[in-house]
Amino acid sequence: MGISRILIANRGEIALRIHRAAHEMGIETVAVHSTADADAMHVRLADHAVCIGPPSAAESYLNHAAIISAAEITGADAIHPGYGFLSENAKFADIVEAHDIAWIGPKPEHIRTMGDKVQAKKTAGALGLPLVPGSDGAVSDFDEMREVAAEIGYPVLAKAASGGGGRGMKVIPSEDQLEPLVKQAMNEAKAAFGDDTMYLEKYLGNPRHIEFQVFGDGRGNAIHLGERDCSLQRRHQKVFEEAPSPVISQEDRMRMGGIVADAMAAMEYRGAGTIEFLWENGEFYFIEMNTRLQVEHPVTEAITGMDLVREQIRIADGKDLSVKQEDIVFTGHAIECRINAEDPFTFAPSPGKIEYYHQAGGMHVRVDSGLYAGYTIPPYYDSMIAKLIVYGRTREGCLMRLRRALGEMVIQGVKTSIPLHQELLKQPDVLSGNYTIKWLEEWLVTRAEALAADPET
């Protein structure tokens, strides 16, 4: 009994990350890949590899039948979905479990609940999490919307129940624009998700994005691993993440962490999860829950010393949580820079052949990446090609080490966001931790204007 062969239903750095955790546990891996990923590092390292389709994700990494068939053929007894792709697909999770394959993820019912943002908010509220003031669930009647909006005050934010991650939102500045803007948002939501259910929230003008990492055993025990600050984002793509947040006190961390862990215990949540909050004027407001492992999980690993993928696998195998809350110690500071194959000024994707690659190293420097010299980055998928995660005993020490490590990284053949990160590390607001979700995009505008005025800068 027990998990002995994991099929990794993903690609890129996260596939490699999962492979490494599995191998450390003595578990074999099965890589499934598209024709475009035959030369990927995780495919080479995996014990078994199955080509599941053409480059298009719809026909490969999202292809339920091909993935289940690959699991059956190779005798995999568990599937890890990584992030993105099928990771938050409740139907696929159901299918996996119906095949007696362990789903290394939350219970399908919880994926389903949290995928519906109205249901998620109701559930969070019932479990005692602080909510953004807004409509009590979905609203479809414009008179009712005007009533709710008048009560919470403008500006309000119309959000699609099937949205999330920034999709299907519209800021409504005043009552006269409510009906036309909500109608527009509904049309967009209908087109994007096939569902125009909307809800209203008070629009928070300048918050930080603070998310708590949680783990549950599915039987009523849960822990939190503190927060990550992911406020530096561009178009809902995180660029730079850190743990702990520079603005959260140890007291608030343990208080809010206790609330989220109690909530997860009460719902008998299983596996890894992230509870997202907006944080403004010292208050937390729940917005969404992600029922998956996140890209930025390594910063939590760095400050807790825990292997989050190992924890996920243990839980999927029916084991207890490996630690008790009182045994979790937060030490030092960690920052992750996402390195994308893209132009550091225009953000245009830059796929292609890696002519030369040199990875940063040294004390407390981690690079999660499947890159190697001679590898060709395919144009079909996400542009993130590496994550640089640096740890230091203090935030200042971490920033100094990060600057040094970024300077060591050499990626030739494609454009990357390394120069963007090097510029960011010169900004006083980044160095002092004085930023909100608006900071990066505002800074990028200033930078573009300065560049237009004087191309030498």
Binding site for ligand MV4 (CB under 6 A): 132, 157, 165-166, 201-204, 209, 233, 236, 276, 278, 287-288, 437
d(CA 366, CA 401): 11
- Angle, to 10 degrees, between the axis of helix 12-24 and the axis of helix 308-316? 70
Task: Look up residue 348 and give its two tokens.
Answer: 């245009």
The least CB distance from residue 397 to ligand MV4, in Å, is: 27
Tell me whether residue 77 or residue 227 sits nearer to ligand MV4 (CB atom).
227
Closest approach, Cβ 202 to ligand MV4, in A, equals 6
- Measured in degrees and rounded to the nearest 5, phi and psi for residue 48 equal -140, 150
Tokens of 193: 């998700």
Nearer Cβ to ligand MV4 (165/305): 165
Tokens, residue 390: 């640096």
> CA separation (Å) from 430 to 214, 241, 346?
27, 11, 21
> Burial, 157: exposed, middle or buried (Cβ in 10 Å; 0-12, 13-18, 19+)?
middle
Tell me how far, at minimum, the Cβ of 166 lies from ligand MV4, in Å.
4
Q: Which two tokens stand for residue 278?
A: 């907006």
Task: Give the residue from 246, 240, 245 showing the smallest Cα distance to 226.
Answer: 245
Q: Determine if the peptide bond prior to 155 is cis (ω within 30°).
A: yes
The answer to whether the beta carbons of residues 240 and 336 sit under 8 Å apart is yes
Nearer Cβ to ligand MV4, position 403 or 438? Answer: 438
Which is closer to ligand MV4, CB of 6 or CB of 186?
186
* Residue 428 Cβ vs ligand MV4, minimum distance, rounded to whole Å: 21
Between residues 175 and 320, which has the closer beta carbon with respect to ligand MV4? 175
Q: Alpha helices, DSSP H only, in 158-208?
A: 178-193
Question: Closest separation between CB of residue 247 and ligand MV4, Å?
Answer: 15
Q: How far is the CB of 436 from ligand MV4 (least distance, A)?
A: 9
The number of helix segments (H) and strand segments (E) in the chain equals 15, 20
Look up tokens 């505002």; give the residue.
442
Structure tokens at 274: 């992230």
Amino acid 23 reads H
Contacts of 69 by beta carbon, 8 Å cutoff, 6+ apart: none
Name the residues annotated as catalytic.
292
Element at 366 (helix H, strand E): strand 365-368
Rank residues 4 and 237 by Cβ distance to ligand MV4 and give the closer one.
237
Residue that is written with structure tokens 């792709």 in the block: 85
Closest approach, Cβ 264 to ligand MV4, in A, equals 19
Task: Output 202 or 270, the one with its CB closest to ligand MV4.
Answer: 202
Closest CA to 381 of 83, 26, 24, 74: 83
